[in-house]
Each structure stands twice: as C-alpha cells, then as structure tokens.
Amino acid sequence: GDSVTQMEGPVTLSEEAFLTINCTYTATGYPSLFWYVQYPGEGLQLLLKATKADDKGSNKGFEATYRKETTSFHLEKGSVQVSDSAVYFCALRRHTGNQFYFGTGTSLTVIP
Amino acid sequence: DAGVIQSPRHEVTEMGQEVTLRCKPISGHDYLFWYRQTMMRGLELLIYFNNNVPIDDSGMPEDRFSAKMPNASFSTLKIQPSEPRDSAVYFCASSLTGQGGEKLFFGSGTQLSVL
C-alpha cells in the first residue's frame, strides 16, 4: 500500500544551520506530495506541496523537490531560525480518492 | 473563517466511560477526516467522510469507536467504553475538492487522557 517514510528525529540544530529532513514514499501512480508543520499545541499546517515530478514546492525559505526517480521529497532550508522549531510531517495524496498518508513526523529544535 | 473547530481541547476520563469528541469543519468543505496522533504510531487516519457519507473507516481501531456526520457542519467521534490505550491527540481535518482541494485544514486537536 501507499506509505511515507521520513527520517527519525529528533533533530537539533544551531540557528542559521542548514536543514535537511529526508522523506521517501511508496505509491501507486503519481501522488501529490506535501510537507506539513505542527507547532506546539496546534494542528498541522500545510508548509509546501508538489503535484508532479520535478516540481519544487517552496514556502518560508523551505524547499522540497519531487524526485520520481528516487521516490523522494526531502525538505531543506538554508538557514534555520529558532521559530522553525516544530514537528515536520511528509505526506502523500493519491490522485484517485482523497486519502492522505503521513510519515511519523520529525521533531526539529533550533537553539540560539 | 474560524477554521476547523474541535471540542473539547482536553478530556480526562476514567476507563469504561463514554467519550464524545466534536468537530465543526470549515464551511463549504466536503471532506472531513478524523486522525489520531500518538508517539508510538504517529498520525493515523481513522475515518473520513465525503458529503457527510463515510467513505473509509478501515482505520477505526475496533467496535468501541464510532463516527457520525449528521450534517455538513458537524461530526462526532465516540469511544464507548474508553480504555487507557485510547489516550492520544485526536485531530479533525477538512478539505474542499477542486481548486485547492489538496490542502487539509486541521483543527487544534483534542487531548484525550483515559485513566
């Protein structure tokens, strides 16, 4: 079945460090791919998305590129801030039906 | 719009009691999802509705769990009887098909503790 695998956390970085959170997926066909972010005490919010191969999603300095050949959608940010501390979820949605499949989440803590 | 509204924010109950979680989706959205989040299992889809009709409830753990959507603006998730292993954060989310339909809007969740 469809699934998402993302790197284990927690991840701790110093402010202005480079961030990569790995995500790979298994799916039938060509799903849409997403990164959601969850701040403490809140629900998940969409961070960025890509709907087809080679698309790059970007928002708030975060980027991820839909790589069909490696079935990956790694999240990157060149310079993290303390305010980026949150849990990040990779997710996919098939084009048929409307089910979203989420990874287990990666906790990021950025220290000053 | 106020977003997806869930109530209560926190629920503490004793084992064996009935628990009802409530959700008001964003007005006009035609999909509603119930998720459960735990440290061990991450975010699990329990059930989702389209136009108030349950589409897939294969994620509902067992018969103790039930969900209803009597109209487009309200849904409930009921656990009867509750057990300590049901302790988790339960999220409701909604979306709209068509333009922008791939974006899920989450509520703030209900933190359930079963003692």
Using one digit for the tens of pLDDT, what is the confidence trace for A42-97? Answer: 889 999 999 989 999 999 999 999 999 999 999 999 999 999 999 999 999 887 77
Residues B6-44: pLDDT tens digits?
A: 999 999 999 999 999 999 999 999 999 999 998 888 888
Percent of chain B with pLDDT over 70: 95
Q: Do B42 and A104 touch (CB under 8 A)?
A: yes
Tokens of B52: 């108030």
Q: Quick count: other Cβ atoms within 10 Å of Cβ A8?
A: 11
Q: Name the one residue in this structure whose structure tokens are 């790995």.
A: A22
Whole-number Å distance between alpha carbons of B75 and A66: 35
Minimal C-alpha gap between B24 and chain A (Å):
14
Q: Which residues of B touch A32 (CB under 8 A)?
A: 102
| pLDDT higher than 70, residue B100 | no
The residue ranking higher by pLDDT, B21 or B56, is B21
Q: Which helix (H) or strand (E) holds A12?
A: strand A11-14
Decide: residue B65, CB within 10 A, 0-12 exposed, 13-18 middle, 19+ buried. buried
pLDDT value, residue B1: 63
Tokens of B90: 């339960």
Q: Quick one: pLDDT band at residue B55, thresholds 50, 70, 90?
A: very high
Whole-number Å distance between alpha carbons of B43 and A104: 6
Q: Quick one: pLDDT band at residue B61, thresholds 50, 70, 90?
A: confident
Q: Quick one: pLDDT band at residue A15, thresholds 50, 70, 90?
A: very high
pLDDT value, residue B47: 95
Q: Quick one: pLDDT band at residue B99, thresholds 50, 70, 90?
A: low
Minimal C-alpha gap between B113 and chain A (Å):
15
CB B92 within 8 A of CB B33: yes
| pLDDT higher than 90, residue B96 | no
Give the mutation candidate from B102, B103, B105, B108 for the A interface (greatest A CB count, under 10 A): B102
Among partner residues A34, A99, A105, which is closest to B43 by beta-carbon distance?
A105
pLDDT value, residue A29: 81
Which has the closest alpha carbon to A63: A104, A30, A96, A19?
A19
Q: Quick one: pLDDT band at residue B101, thresholds 50, 70, 90?
A: low
Angle ∠(B32,B33,B36) on CA atoms, nearest 5:
155
CB A89 within 8 A of CB A102: yes
> Chain A residues with CB-CB distance to B under 8 A?
32, 34, 36, 41-46, 49, 51, 89, 93, 97-105
| pLDDT higher than 90, residue B2 | no
Torsion of CA A45, A64, B47, B75, to 10 degrees: 20
Span B47-75, average pLDDT: 94
What residues have CB less than 8 Å from B62, skipping those under 6 apart? none
Decide: residue A67, CB within 10 A, 0-12 exposed, 13-18 middle, 19+ buried. middle
Q: Do A98 and B48 touch (CB under 8 A)?
A: yes
Find the closest chain A residue to B6 by CA distance. A43
Among partner residues B48, B55, B103, which is closest to A46 by beta-carbon distance?
B103
